[in-house]
């Protein structure tokens, strides 16, 4: 099955303790698509400005990412500047330039309207809702967001959260969204707004998944090579949704497996600046790291002592 994503395509300027990059290819939809294309066909809806080079569109198309929903609008592409200290879990936004996002009226190509798996990646929640409203009876819809939209569009964001099956969000954003420090209480609150599943991303501490009757936890892969956490959350979502779209399944067992595939993709993403690592990743590397994740959390039942 194919997977529809709407989100940002950006030029990112990023500084981490291990290096910096100016106007590199980024954006939530870019990282998401680059991870998901290893698992399923991806249909992309986004907007860029006239400064966006054809070479970048070719990079997407070379990976079979369908860009017929990509609009090229007059003006400049969205730009984000961020910085990380040694605590790589927390991005500090230095600058956000919405540019072509501001007047973007998203139109869903007719061949995308029957999409069964939909991801509303981090972008203006009004745009997320406008896209979702154009899809006929999807099987599974997930969304992400970030502090910028929690602060600037709280009402629209709550409406989107009410419309989706799965919310993926950072730990600090879950607290900000609910004004609740305790993540268990915060998750109960978000679940009470509508979604069936909440996935909290905790950076190097991994993932916590909550539904109304279960909790699941997955570690992050302990990496020696870690340069830039930008896009890890989007790559996680790409692995998760790519897996679900590939299998066509939406039950909890599939979501748990998808969470590990998401964690695999995030672990590769952070190994280099920009989505580069996801571009030259091969299926053997994905399989091997999935197995390494399994080994990381494998232990035997307690039988002899108690
Ligand atoms: P993350 O997976 O959370 O690290 O996402 C990082 C990506 O989000 C970067 O490549 C940015 O271009 C993009 N981004 C940053 N701020 C925003 C925003 N307000 N709306 C949409 N995308 C954004």
Convert the pLDDT of each residue in 42-67 to its tens digit.
Answer: 999 999 999 999 999 999 999 999 99
Cα 295 to ligand 1 centre (Å): 32
Residue 210 C-beta-side C-alpha neighbours within 13 Å:
21
CA distance 148 to 150: 6
Tokens of 60: 């997407």
Does 148 sit in the ligand 1 pocket, CB within 6 Å? yes
Structure tokens at 274: 């920009």
Residue from 146, 220, 227, 241 whose mutation best tests the ligand 1 pocket (most atoms within 8 A of CB): 146
**Minimal-distance CA residue to ligand 1 atom 13:** 27
In the chain, helix, strand, coil percent, each to 5?
Answer: 40, 25, 35
Element (H, E) at 43: strand 41-48
What pLDDT score does 224 carry? Answer: 86
Structure tokens at 301: 């039942």
* Contact call for residues 181 and 237 (beta carbons, < 8 A): no
pLDDT at 302 (0 to 100): 81
pTM value > 0.95: yes
Query: Could you tell me the sign of the dihedral formed by the alpha carbons of 92, 275, 249, 119, in that order?
Result: positive
Evaluate: CB of 231 within 6 angstroms of ligand 1: yes
Measured CA to CA, the distance from residue 244 to residue 187 in angstroms comes to 22
Count of other CB atoms within 10 angstroms of residue 205: 13
Q: How far is the CA of 95 from the centre of ligand 1 (A)?
A: 11
Report the atom number in ligand 1 closest to the C-alpha of 148. Answer: 19
Report the nearest-CA residue for atom 11 of ligand 1: 27
Q: Is the CB of 36 under 6 A from ligand 1?
A: no
Residue 263 Cα, ligand 1 centroid: separation in angstroms? Answer: 18
**Below-50 pLDDT ranges, the chain:** none
Residue nearest ligand 1's atom 21 by CA: 123
Q: What is the atom index within ligand 1 of the atom nearest the CA of 144?
A: 3
Number of Cβ within 10 Å of residue 40's Cβ equals 20
């Amino acid at each position: 099955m194919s997977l529809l994503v709407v989100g940002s395509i950006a030029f990112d300027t990023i500084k981490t303790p291990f290096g910096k990059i100016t106007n590199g290819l980024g954006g939530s939809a870019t990282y998401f698509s680059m991870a998901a294309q290893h698992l399923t066909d991806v249909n992309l809806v986004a907007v860029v400005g006239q400064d966006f080079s054809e070479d970048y569109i070719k990079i997407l198309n070379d990976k079979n990412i369908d860009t017929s929903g990509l609009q090229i609008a007059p003006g400049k592409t969205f730009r984000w500047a961020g910085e990380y200290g040694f605590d790589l879990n927390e991005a500090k936004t230095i600058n956000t330039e919405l540019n072509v996002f501001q007047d973007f009226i998203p139109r869903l190509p007719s061949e995308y309207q029957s999409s069964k798996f939909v991801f509303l990646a981090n972008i203006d929640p009004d745009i997320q809702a406008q896209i979702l409203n154009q899809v006929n009876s999807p099987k599974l819809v997930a969304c992400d967001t970030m502090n910028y939209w929690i602060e600037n569009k709280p009402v629209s964001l709550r409406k989107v959260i009410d419309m989706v099956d799965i919310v993926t969000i950072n730990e600090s954003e879950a607290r900000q969204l609910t004004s609740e420090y305790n993540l268990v209480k915060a998750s109960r609150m978000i679940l009470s707004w509508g979604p069936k599943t909440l996935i909290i991303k905790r950076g190097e501490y991994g993932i916590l998944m909550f539904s109304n009757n279960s909790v699941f936890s997955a570690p992050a892969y302990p990496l020696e090579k870690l340069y830039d956490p930008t896009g890890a959350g989007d790559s996680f979502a790409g692995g998760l949704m790519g897996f679900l779209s590939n299998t066509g399944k939406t039950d909890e067992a599939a979501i748990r497996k998808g969470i590990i595939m998401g964690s695999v993709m995030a672990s590769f993403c952070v190994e280099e600046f920009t989505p580069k690592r996801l571009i030259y990743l091969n299926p053997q590397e994905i399989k091997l790291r999935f197995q390494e994740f399994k080994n990381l959390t494998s232990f035997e039942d307690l039988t002899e002592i108690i």
